[in-house]
Amino acid sequence: MALILDGTVVTCDSDHRILDPGSVYVGDDGRLAAVRPAGQAAPAGFPDAPRIDTGALIFPGLIDLHNHIAYNTLPLWEAVGVPYLHHDRWVGEQRTPDYSTSVTWPAKVLGQAAPEALIKYVEVKALIGGTTSIQGAPHSTRAVDGWLLRIVDNEKLPAGTDMVMTAALQLDAEVLREERAPRLDGTRLLIYHVAEGSSGSIVRREFEELEPCLKPGLIGVHATALAPADFGKWQDAVTAISPEEQGTVVWSPFSNYWLYHDTTQVAEAHRKGLRIALGSDWAPSGTKHVLGELKVADAVNRHEFGSHFDDRDLCDMVTANPGDALATAWGPHVGRLQHGNAADLLVLERHEPARDAYRNLIDATERHVRLVTVRGRPFYGTPALMTAAEATDTDTITVAGLRRRVSVRQPGRTDAQLDWPGVKRALEAVRDDPVAAWRASQDALAEWGGPLDDPEAPLTLFGDMPDGDTGLFAAAGEVPPDLVVPRPDPLTHDAAYFAAVARSGVPQLQHLADYYP
């Protein structure tokens, strides 16, 4: 459906134009037909299109370039033994005792017993923070291309082919050298966790093993153990292949500080020429969505990095920068508002002067998100804007005490029939009796009996993180009889969340509450 949105348009394009006032023309193909100053003639094809005066700021939809979707119904994991030296200390041989009961088992049961409900719940959680693209698809019996959001791992742009390789766990050096590196040919991406741990810890050797993959198209997640010289080596290797290209580091400061009391030296990485993108990681050690992560980045930038980044730099970390990183595989589709790009939009209430558009985004909370569109379709927003945008199949949802509408059910897709009340009911049914829900899911898989990669196979999700010590129950195909599946993690940063942050005592994380008065 063609649509015209008027407001203050923050393009995040190469010239960083802010059109105040401006107009965004959404074509019926889900792309931007034009982005123009107000008063200019409309492009062809818009004589009868609804025109909405948003009275607000219009940004590109936010991009979360590092997540683990299967775990995002879980609350913050208040683990024992922090800070950890590196990732193997909590999921490796010295794993913490409550990891499997707090993280692995609840996610495993929900992913197999209520897969559609789980994915839709966490997609709505991301939408509420203005996210339109998210990385971190779970392993599954069949790929989910994204019911509400673009799921980076599975999205097939531009030519209907999946060009994104991902690995949350470390691959053997031989696999990196012989299999992944040759495929980084300038058309594909590799999103890879590397050197996640305290500065200088033993996991830095993962970077040495990754050396054959230091090419355009590598997106390195975390890299917390790397030194400035490592970032220089990384960018030099990319430049040697393509002088105009940049390497990409994905920064998840909340999770870094939560688990390791340390974070990536992103200011140094930036000085060496790498681009920085943000990712909210996952609910057990992260923020609710990348809009929340932006605030942690802002606070760390001010208190730890001497304000190395300005407000525009920070906002680029959730728009233009990840969009440019994805362009290797997708082409220039997301992250910037310009002709031909995807109509993935965030409409944000103005709470600062228009000249401070970037500070508006940094300081915005869930209360300020007024409309979110993906592929040109309105999925979440205020009742007035959702009605004006002619959204269909919407349900009422309360967010931070405000009434909103969300479109969850998609009548044209037989694999996505749950509406928002149905999502909540399905998750509660698993909580009521996890053992029965688990057994029913296993029975359905056994009854199917066919190949799990068949499009008609029952949808089943498998987490992309290590299981921890699941003991004899997993070997026997059972779940612990006393398993407790927690209530779905609240959609917004609430009092319980900030109480957990306060209990952690991590100084760098205490500033987050200041953004949520």
3-class secondary structure for 123-185?
Answer: HHHHHCCCEEEECCCCEECCCCCCCCCEECCCCCCCCCCCCEEEECCCCCHHHHHHHHHHHCC
Whole-number CA gyration radius for the chain: 22
Distance between CA 475 and CA 483 in Å, rounded? 16
pLDDT digits (tens, 9 = 90+) for 304-331: 999 999 999 999 999 999 999 999 999 9
* pTM of the predicted structure, to 2 decimals: 0.97
Look at residue 447 in the predicted model and tell me its pLDDT. 87
For residue range 222-250, list pLDDT tens digits in order: 999 999 999 999 999 999 999 999 999 99
Q: Which residue, among 131, 150, 136, has the nearest Cα to 380 in the 3D structure?
A: 131
Helix H or strand E encompassing 345: strand 345-348
CATH numbers and ranges of domains, the chain: 3-61+335-407 (2.30.40.10), 63-333+497-515 (3.20.20.140)
Distance CA 161, CA 173 (A): 27
User: Pick from 210, 194, 139: which is nearest to 462 by CA?
Assistant: 139
Note the pLDDT of residue 448: 83
**At 351, is the pLDDT very low, low, confident or very high (cuts 50, 70, 90)?**
confident
3-class SS letters over 286-317? CCCCHHHHHHHHHHHHHHCCCCCCCHHHHHHC
**Would you state the pLDDT for residue 136?**
96
Confidence band, pLDDT 50/70/90 cuts, at residue 507: very high
> Tokens 């558009």 sit at which residue?
357
**Structural contact between residues 489 and 74, judged by C-beta atoms closer than 8 angstroms:** yes
What span, in angstroms and rounded, lies between the C-alpha atoms of 176 and 10?
39
Closest C-alpha among 131, 427, 144, 151 to residue 280: 131
Q: To the nearest whole number, what is the mean pLDDT of the chain?
A: 93
Sequence-distant (≥ 6) Cβ neighbours of residue 458 within 8 angstroms: 141, 441, 444, 445, 448
3-state secondary structure 172-227: CHHHHHHHHHHHCCCCCEEEEEECCECCCCHHHHHHHHCHHHCCCCEEEEECCCCC
Amino acid letter for position 115: P
378 Cα distance to chain centroid: 19
Q: What is the pLDDT of residues 95-154, one digit of tens each?
A: 677 888 899 999 999 999 999 999 999 999 999 999 999 999 998 888 777 789 999 999
Among 249, 259, 245, which Cα is nearest to 210's? 249
Residues 453-500 have pLDDT tens digits of: 777 788 999 899 888 666 656 665 788 999 999 999 999 999 999 999
